[in-house]
């Protein structure tokens, strides 16, 4: 019996229609994702798991990291512009610098070195093994830079990553993931080394805290997410939490240099980088001269009334013990803050300073404001200044800084304050390799203690012992 072309087409259409209705669109194999972005969390995790299993060789990791660096450099400005547009925080030029910093100075697989113990009883080898699928919760403040940085560090360790983006920065985070995945798969044929869900939420982030198949949880964010992760997760946790970094200036400091460092550091990306200087503690005898030097750099001195007027606009529940930054105002320009307070400063001004004398409880001193308005406190002497720095850092194990030429003072502060980053005589971002020595990271593990993370943070150490042989000497 002859069958016409028309009949064949009709049969094919019927079979396809049947297939569409008989297979749920939510079946994991059905959703191939959009370059790493999936409707369902289970598909994002399954795809990352499949990708991790292909991330086997050192040569492959090296070429993936090379591709990430290249793509991140090429797209640094576009991603910076998107981030400022979506989240409304920070400076485009500073975000370009952050994207380039992480592209260039996040270490790759070369930082991982196996070690060996050789002795009369034979040879033991200690290897850096991957965890597999890592869940990484990322902040709104450094969306693209955190993805680029985590991608390089975690893939270098042989892993794949499911990201939980901040909902307020989901488009820029997803665009970064897609752009990197496309570049990686074009070069290596491996898809989905980086994944996430299309509609991220607090709930989907919390699901990852206990998700089967995820072996390591990395959280970069504020106090609430660190607490939630600690309370809920059943996995190894690396937590990069909030800070409130003080910078202390003593009577021996080079005040011109201190002012330049503080002005550049505290205003970097409008103060949203977690290690940026958040309050200045000056020894009384040099406080006026330091203020003058800060003004010479371009900082505007605002009085208490003006600062209070800004606080009323940009903080929630102010005044009161629960005053906190209104997310709408985080990372806005100094000129916008001034205008919220009912006065104006030149557009070129990047930092507002308010002299609060001895008021350590002043609202912008005790909180992590993440805005370019910084209090200056006057301490009687170094010992009092250090007590105040301890109080305001608040045991967060994050960042502190100091400007001094007195080695004993520097030693005393470094020892007592016990932060993950301690920066002397430079802007705090120098501690992240921006103008100081060392590698960079956008995930500075604070309460859990891994410090400035890199590929070594994201591996499991495994030991393999051969008894009685292979000692070749
Ligand atoms: P955030 O805490 O509001 O959000 C961070 C991430 O956690 C987001 O993905 C968010 O969706 C998620 N989240 C928030 N609360 C949660 C909860 N209860 N359960 C599950 N997930 C939750 O922070 P942000 O405003 O995006 O970023 C700024 C904060 O992050 C600051 O406190 C800053 O110091 C900190 N930070 C720390 C580092 C570091 O390396 N230590 C780096 C960047 C930012």
Tens digit of each residue's pLDDT (9 = 90 or more) over 312-322? 999 999 999 99
CB of 195 closer than 6 A to ligand 1? no
The reported pLDDT for the residue numbered 8 is: 47
Residue 28 DSSP SS3? coil
Mean pLDDT of 263-287: 98
Span from the CA of 463 to the centroid of ligand 1 (angstroms):
35
- pLDDT tens per residue across span 113-153: 999 999 999 999 999 999 999 999 999 999 999 999 999 99
In this structure, are residues 352 and 337 in contact, taking their beta carbons and an 8 Å threshold? yes
CB of 173 closer than 6 A to ligand 1? no
Span from the CA of 186 to the centroid of ligand 1 (angstroms):
32
CB of 243 closer than 6 A to ligand 1? yes
Calpha distance 423→429 (Å, rounded): 9
Q: In which order are the strands placed within the sheet that holds 236-240?
A: 37-38, 194-197, 160-164, 133-137, 216-220, 236-240
Calpha distance 181→59 (Å, rounded): 18
The reported pLDDT for the residue numbered 10 is: 53
Pick the residue whose CA is nearest to atom 22 on ligand 1. Answer: 225
Res. 239: pLDDT tops 90: yes
CB of 141 closer than 6 A to ligand 1? yes
CB of 164 closer than 6 A to ligand 1? yes
The reported pLDDT for the residue numbered 14 is: 52
The mean pLDDT of the chain is: 94
Res. 18: pLDDT tops 70: no
Res. 54: pLDDT tops 50: yes
Q: In which order are the strands placed within the sheet that holds 246-249?
A: 300-302, 352-357, 373-379, 279-283, 246-249, 399-403, 421-424
pTM here is: 0.93
**Under 8 Å CB-to-CB from 147, ≥6 apart: which residues?**
138, 163, 173, 176, 177, 180, 194
Helices 382-393 and 407-417, interaxial angle, to 10°? Answer: 30
Reported confidence tier of residue 4, pLDDT bands at 50, 70, 90? low
- pLDDT tens per residue across span 166-208: 999 999 999 999 999 999 999 999 999 999 999 999 999 999 9
Which DSSP string corresponds to 134-202? EEEE--SSSHHHHHHHHHHHHHHTT-EEEEE--GGGHHHHHHHHHHHHHHHHHHHS---SEEEESS--H
Span from the CA of 56 to the centroid of ligand 1 (angstroms):
31
Span from the CA of 96 to the centroid of ligand 1 (angstroms):
21
CB of 446 closer than 6 A to ligand 1? yes
Calpha distance 86→107 (Å, rounded): 29
- Beta strands (DSSP E) in 204-302 are 216-220, 236-240, 246-249, 279-283, 300-302
Residue 69, φ and ψ in degrees, nearest 5: -60, -45
The reported pLDDT for the residue numbered 1 is: 42
Reported confidence tier of residue 7, pLDDT bands at 50, 70, 90? low
The reported pLDDT for the residue numbered 31 is: 83
Pick the residue whose CA is nearest to atom 23 on ligand 1. Answer: 221
Ligand 1, residues 86, 89, 90, 139: which to mutate, most atoms within 8 A of Cβ? 139
- Pairing, β 399-403 against β 246-249: parallel
- pLDDT tens per residue across span 62-115: 999 999 999 999 999 999 999 999 999 999 999 999 999 999 999 999 999 999
Burial of 304 (0-12, 13-18, 19+ CB in 10 A): middle
Q: What is the DSSP letter of 341?
A: T
Three-state secondary structure readout of 44-77: HHHHHHHHHHHCCCHHHHHHHHHHHHHHHHHCHH
Ligand 1, residues 87, 221, 441: which to mutate, most atoms within 8 A of Cβ? 221
The reported pLDDT for the residue numbered 9 is: 53
Res. 463: pLDDT tops 60: yes
CB of 221 closer than 6 A to ligand 1? yes
Q: What percent of the chain has pLDDT over 70?
A: 94
Higher pLDDT, 51 or 1: 51
- pLDDT tens per residue across span 318-361: 999 999 999 999 999 999 999 999 999 999 999 999 999 999 99
């Amino acid at each position: 019996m002859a069958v016409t072309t028309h009949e064949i087409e009709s049969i094919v259409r019927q079979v396809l229609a049947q297939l569409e209705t008989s297979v749920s669109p939510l079946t994991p194999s059905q959703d191939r994702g959009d370059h790493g972005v999936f409707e369902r969390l289970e598909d994002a995790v399954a795809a990352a798991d499949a990708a991790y299993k292909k991330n086997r060789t050192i040569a492959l990791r090296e070429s993936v990291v090379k591709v990430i660096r290249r793509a991140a450099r090429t797209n640094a400005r576009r991603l910076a512009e998107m981030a400022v547009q979506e989240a409304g925080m920070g400076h485009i030029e500073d975000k370009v610098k952050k994207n380039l910093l992480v592209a260039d100075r996040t270490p790759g697989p070369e930082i991982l070195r196996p070690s060996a113990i050789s002795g009369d009883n034979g040879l033991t080898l200690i290897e850096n093994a991957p965890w597999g699928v890592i869940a990484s919760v990322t902040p709104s403040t450094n969306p693209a830079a955190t993805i680029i940085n985590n991608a390089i560090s975690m893939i270098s360790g042989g892993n794949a990553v499911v990201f939980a983006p901040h909902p307020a920065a989901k488009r820029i985070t997803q665009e970064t993931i897609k752009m990197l995945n496309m570049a990686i798969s074009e070069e290596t044929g491996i898809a989905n080394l980086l994944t996430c869900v299309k509609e991220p939420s607090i709930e989907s982030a919390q699901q990852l805290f206990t998700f089967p198949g995820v072996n390591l949880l990395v959280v970069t964010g504020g106090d609430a997410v660190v607490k939630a992760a600690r309370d809920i997760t059943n996995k190894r946790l690396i937590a990069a939490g909030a800070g409130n970094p003080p910078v202390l200036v003593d009577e021996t400091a080079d005040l011109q240099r201190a002012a330049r460092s503080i002005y550049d550091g505290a205003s970097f990306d409008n103060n949203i980088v977690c290690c940026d200087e958040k309050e200045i503690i000056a020894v009384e005898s040099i406080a006026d001269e330091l203020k003058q030097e800060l003004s010479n750099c371009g900082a505007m001195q605002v009085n208490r009334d003006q600062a209070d007027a800004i606080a009323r606009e940009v903080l929630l529940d102010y005044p009161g013990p629960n005053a906190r930054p209104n997310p709408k105002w985080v990372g806005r320009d100094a000129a916008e803050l001034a205008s919220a307070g009912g006065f104006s400063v030149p557009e070129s001004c990047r930092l507002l300073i308010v002299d609060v004398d001895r008021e350590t409880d002043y609202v912008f001193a005790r909180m992590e404001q993440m805005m370019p308005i910084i209090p200056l406190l006057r301490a009687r002497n170094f010992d009092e200044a250090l007590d105040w720095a301890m109080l305001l850092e608040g045991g967060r194990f994050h960042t502190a800084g100091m400007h001094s030429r007195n080695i004993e003072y520097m030693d005393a502060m470094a020892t007592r304050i016990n932060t993950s980053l301690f920066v002397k005589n430079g802007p705090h971002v120098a501690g992240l390799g921006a103008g100081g020595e060392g590698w960079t990271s956008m995930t500075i593990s604070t309460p859990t203690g891994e410090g400035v993370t890199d590929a070594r943070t994201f591996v499991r150490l495994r030991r393999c012992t051969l008894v009685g042989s292979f000692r070749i000497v």
